Structures are given as structure tokens and as C-alpha cells.
Amino acid sequence: MNNYDVAIIGSGFVGTSLAHFLQNYFSVKTFDIVSQSSLLTNSKIPHELIDITDFNSLQKIGNPKVIIHSAIIQIPKINEDKNLGYNVNVKGTQNICEIVSQNSSIQGMLLISSWHTYGEQQLKGLLQENIGYRPDMVEDRARLYALSKTIQECLIRFYDEKTPNKIFGALKIGTVLGEGMPKGTAANLFIEKAISGEKLTPFKHSMNRPMLYASITDICKATKNFVNLIIEQKKTSNNSIEHVMNIAYPHPISILDLAHIISNSVNKYTNGKIKPEVSIIDQGLDEVGSSTDKDNIELDVSKVKNFLNMETLTSPQEQIDILIKKKLSTTN
């Protein structure tokens, strides 16, 4: 299968979910430096090993119509091996852009980007895609990641502007809530603890941090519609910001809210048999932000509504309920 619809590079959490969903609409192949996720074993989606830091290795992709780029070196690895972080996140993205640019069969690419390019601190008002990049406004541990995502978006945008007949776009996704979430995320830790009846223990210093969350189902639907946009070649503007779109539930919640949502959901769906307590841990560190910070921000999602037909977006509450119900049905 050398000619096919969609190549998904990076089949980690997001890439695997995308492959699952998109196979219902397109011919799909996954690519990663490691073997295919066991979650895709029965899906019959072809998978090949590639290393995006090696330009020649990218020839294995063949002739898809669209590439989705979801490969990344995450926190904490990016801080432990900065050269690897640079090579994969920056040079790897440049290599993918170049392949898209050179191969006449490929009509465009979609980067899975992040709301972290806006920074997390002192955010105010309506967050539109054109407000710029604030990679310094994150915790120290997240700076290289935020810089990576910013550089990636800038590369994508430059290629979009210099390549007349192809679309290079980005979806700036919120922190993802969905099955298969990485184990170390706050949402996953809280869910695991809540279902076991343990206390949920948000840290006092970070509990007010406003978080923008996105449901994996919404991301999959928006990606499908973005792929169609690329295939239909609806390049209506030469300003690359038109191909960068936010997707998350527009109203942030704090980490403390998340703990309460999860606790209440477990209480509700176990009919009160499990009532996980939320117990705040004070480590004596300075608090980041206040409880009203989340009320100062709204994510502008008008582009995904208008261009990708995402009329309704799933709230964190709705997505958590879905996850808890599923989890309880498999643990009983």
C-alpha cells in the first residue's frame, strides 16, 4: 500500500486514538520509532518503524495524501535528554515538512500542537490563535516543551506560506482526556485513586492553575474534518494563521475542580458506594495563581466550529463521566 490516505507519524496516546477513529473513513498507516501500540493489534492498520530525525527513514512513508504529525519527546524526557528533544521535536518536524513539500502526492500535513504555546500564567481574555507565543509563561519544567511546540508551529506556518498548493496546519489541542491517557497525568492519577476509594490529593501550590481540557473524541472528529479540508484543497488564505485552530472545551477548570469532578462522578456512578475525599496537600510552596484565574480566560473555538463543523465540544465533566462509567464497567 504505497498510495493511501493518511500517514500518522507518532502512534503514542493521541496517534493511536486518531488511527482507531480515522480508519473508519480513510486508509491509514501508522509510523513510530517503536512498534505499534497493542491497542491497535487487532485493527489491521499497517505500521512501520521510522525515525523522524533521519530524513531517509521518512521515505518509508510512501505516498499518502495527508500526514498527521503527533510524534514528540515529552516532559520529563525532554529535560533529561535535551539533544534528543531538539532532534525529534525540531529537526524531526522540519524533516516531515520537507517530505510534504517535496512529495507531489502529499497534499498537506496537520501538526498536533498544544495550548501550551500560549503559556499558562497570567492569561486573560479570549485566547485567539493569533495572540502570539508565550513559551516563557510556563513552569520551568515545561519551558523546553513549550518552546518545542512554538518552534513546530512556526515551522508549519512558514511552510504553509511558502508552499502555494499545500496546506500545513496545526490543531492546538487542550490537555487530552480520554481512554489510554498517560499514567502520570493528573486526570489519570485522580481517576485511578478515586476508583480505588483513595483520597485525591491536589497540591495547594498548583491547584488553582487553569487548565484547558479537550476530549479525545472531539480531537478525532476535528482531525477527520481537517484531513478532508486538506484533501479538498480549500486553501482560501495565504495567511498561515488561518490553518492553526484551537480545540478544547472553551472554559478552563482548575486542578482542584478536576479532583472534585472526578470524586463526584465516582460517587454518582457507584451510587454512593465510593465517596473519594479531596484532600489538599500543602508543600509550603508559593501558590501559582488564584481560584478566580480560570474565570478570566476563554478559548476562542470559533474556527473549529466554522471550518471543521465542531458545533458542540465535550466538557471535562461530560468526558470524565464517560471515562468513569467505562472504567467502572470493566472493574466490576
Contacts of 144 (CB under 8 A, 6+ apart): 75, 78, 79, 82, 85
CB nearer to ligand NAD: pick between 120 and 235: 120
Burial of 178 (0-12, 13-18, 19+ CB in 10 A): buried
| CB-based contact 124:165 (threshold 8 Å) | no
Residues in contact with 126: Cβ distance below 8 Å, sequence separation at least 6, in sequence order? 298, 299, 300
Q: Which is nearer to ligand NAD, 149 or 224 (CB)?
A: 149
**Cell numbers found for residue 189:** 492519577
Residue closer to ligand NAD (CB basis): 53 or 215: 53
Nearer to ligand NAD, 235 or 299 (CB): 299
By CB under 6 A, name the binding residues for ligand NAD: 10-15, 32-34, 50-53, 70-74, 88, 92, 112, 114, 149, 173, 175-176
Residue 129 CB, nearest distance to ligand NAD (Å)? 15
CB atoms within 10 A of CB 184: 10
Least separation in angstroms between CB 68 and ligand NAD:
10
Give 13 or 190: the residue with its C-beta nearer to ligand NAD.
Answer: 13
CB of 279 to ligand NAD, least distance (A): 25
- Which is closer to ligand NAD, CB of 33 or CB of 274? 33
Q: Write down the least CB distance from residue 165 to ligand NAD, Å.
A: 25
Q: Beta-carbon neighbour count of residue 301 at 10 Å?
A: 22
**For the chain, where are the alpha helices, taking DSSP H only?**
13-22, 77-80, 82-86, 92-102, 143-162, 186-195, 216-231, 255-269, 302-308, 316-331
Cα–Cα nearest to 212, from 314, 289, 308: 314
Q: What does the alpha-carbon distance between residue 314 and residue 255 come to, in Å, rounded to a whole number?
A: 18
188 versus 228: smaller Cβ distance to ligand NAD: 188
Least Å distance, CB 229 to ligand NAD, is 19
How far separated are the first and last CA of the chain, in Å rounded?
A: 42
Residue of minimal Cβ distance to ligand NAD: 12
